[in-house]
Amino acid sequence: MWGENPDAAFEKRLASAGFAVRCERPGKGGYRHAVWVAEKKVAKKNA
């Protein structure tokens, strides 16, 4: 997912929905968009 600016509230919503999330700002110089990378956390099974 990408956006124009980092958004802490969006990251918090993703995390509360069970995602591990990070925000990256690729590129150098000039205007850089925010790119969120989220992966669904997998529940561990008790053995």
pLDDT value of position 17: 93
Is 44 inside a domain boundary? no
Does 17 reside within a domain?
yes
Rounded CA separation 15/39 (Å): 10
Q: Which two tokens stand for residue 6?
A: 């980092």
**Strand extents, DSSP E, 1-47:** 2-3, 19-24, 34-40
What is the full per-residue pLDDT of the chain (47 aa) written as tens digits? 778 888 899 999 999 999 999 888 887 877 788 888 999 988 777 76
**Within-domain flag for 22:** yes
pLDDT of residue 47: 61
Question: How many domains, in total, are found in the chain?
Answer: 1
pTM value surpassing 0.85:
no
Asked, for residue 15, whether it belongs to a domain, the answer is: yes
CA-CA distance, 34 to 2, in Å (whole number)? 6
- For residue 23, tell me if it sits in a domain: yes
Token output for 43: 């529940």
Determine the structural domain holding residue 15 and report its residue range. 2-34
Q: Is 45 inside any structural domain? A: no
Distance from C-alpha of 34 to C-alpha of 3, rounded to nearest angstrom: 5
Whether residue 30 lies inside any domain: the answer is yes
